[in-house]
Structure 1
């Protein structure tokens, strides 16, 4: 539309497809990619692309909206309303944060399927993109409808069509069926409820899905009606129905955890490949299996088993739909592409209920050793998914009233405070970990978190060191008693043993942590920390690097960098130590002990002015801080202790 009038597009389907693809592209697109996308290797694909772009220029209000720079093409739509971009932007910000009016506006933008009827013959890459976008926007529509239903007054006239559309879009979402049954019951249409219940049960049975949660919701709705409380909105299902081929019936504590399904990655054919489009199998299936296994070993959240997700993929169930059927909070999807001497893996992590893309990344490597490359990419994917889910859960828990938190949420609220690294925040973290354990005494990670708070009290001298060390050891032991296969439990015990001066036992526990889960970044960091003081300094450097590779934005990144700095001191590499210590001190949450590491390392490197600046900053917080405090904090072997004391004397901390 321009000035209220419809602009007629040329009849060319490829031109329309090009227009849509460029409109939604987040950045400039290479001409070769556009040619590959839309043309089946004709005589002159670039010539056809130039023709389409010239036609587009004549359609747009300003020809300069098509930006060509070098070999790329971009479409500038600033100041224009694009319905798909508006919807995608709302999903990215979080549909759950939108008010009723905004939800209604967005719902009104859906007037049909995305680019309905615009499939292009012999253009498999475009058609794959089109299918993915349609799935994405259907899921957005369903999420908008769900939140509309939950925000509208129970007796509002417009609720009914929203409910019916929600069920149409997600016929296997138990929450949608429960909401529709509740709406019909409020209007006294009990016969219609029974008819819908019967037809929905047949539908679920045809897909071997468990219908009992919907049936139980209906019993609740009927009982509320009988008790004359019909006009109060009945409680909907706590989550979507569980698929009988997928989920066991987890215990209450496990069901409180965040849950994740990693759908089978798709293997895409490269340019010139004999295969026309995406397929399953081979490297993609192997990478998916590896990611599922590694995520499960972390024991951070509930991970759907391989057989279940592959079974749904065999039925061509879209990832977002699979997430709802599987009753999970997050779905990860990806593609594997081998082309022109490189391997490209793209992955997305989506929050199912809001259809928000939590994290997306593309990894590109030269396949000198394809299995080593995929192993490295798999490491990055696993660590990133774990970190992103933890961050989302922490932030969500922070926004809830403390007295409304369940065990999982209280644990993540504790993590949020724990990573502030101050005495007051550490006490808040201890409180929330304790709350989590009152709600769920079998929560191993909450015990490990509680052990961490006592460890911090001892390490930072925020409390009596002997008492806090004993409590750190005791709570780590409780974590192990609850779940001896949890890497965090062995991590907590390894750190507690270090406090007690039992280095050999500490290293055994930390090695056990990374054996249980090779992707457990904090386990590798703790190994670096212990080795950096009195173990193998070269091993400390290797473990520090590996922990940072696994978790490059970790809240404990300052510690990973600081451990490497101390290892360099022990190797006599003072210049390197100074550089790594500066990186550690530059982290926004670096505490006083990290500043002390920087001061000592810079002094040993002869950078005395910088070292004195750090010692001055340190003494603003701790006026009487001296070398004895620094040495007493760590467990250095004699040679390392002598070097750090030498550095302290150079800057007046001796």
Structure 2
């Protein structure tokens, strides 16, 4: 009888040990599946998204979406630093590891992904990666929306990243990221083409940029960002010495003022006005006010 009791106790002990072991294994698996950041993430770089459209001519579109995500995250005041387009584009098609890139940019995390066009819709795959000291996938998601709803999709991606890094949004940021504003797909594509030429900043590219910005306005006469783009073109022509200030400044001002009338919440508009006031009007105080307003809207506007 005593022997039987000992056997029963031993079986219970074995069962108990087995149950504890299973719990530990389950916990380890759960932790491996959820690999949250060990430290607070306050700086992010959005790497150039990969073009999976199968069409090299769509690079402008893919790069435009990269810009949009940088812009969305750049408006989050809780993020101490969001790396600018100028700094990240050199990593397009790079062979460097994510850890190397994170060290060079001195950021806590990286965003990478890809873009596809599916009929009249856009599909983007986005991942948030803690690259230091070792690459660790924190979050990933695929989004697909009609072209008319891409702005809402960018907001959704930005909100998901902010939630993942546990940053508290201000009421204004909450409202902005909840926006479901729709756009005209043709006007938007013309605007992105214009921006792709504008960034190259040569006389022929400025001409091409102006053409596409004007094309966007033919499609949507109330497209504020297209007016901002036109203002940048005239500023660029003046700064490159292609036109004297008396020729370029009135046109730059006219376009910027129209953009401001249409949407005074665009950081790009106030940045443009800041350049005009400092470079052309020598209005240092007015220029400073415009630049400060741009930074209020987009704290990481480099």
Structure with a larger share of its residues in strand: 2
Choose between structure 1 and 2 for higher RCO, CA contacts under 8 A separated by at least 6 residues.
Answer: 2
TM-score by length of 1: 0.23
Larger radius of gyration: 1
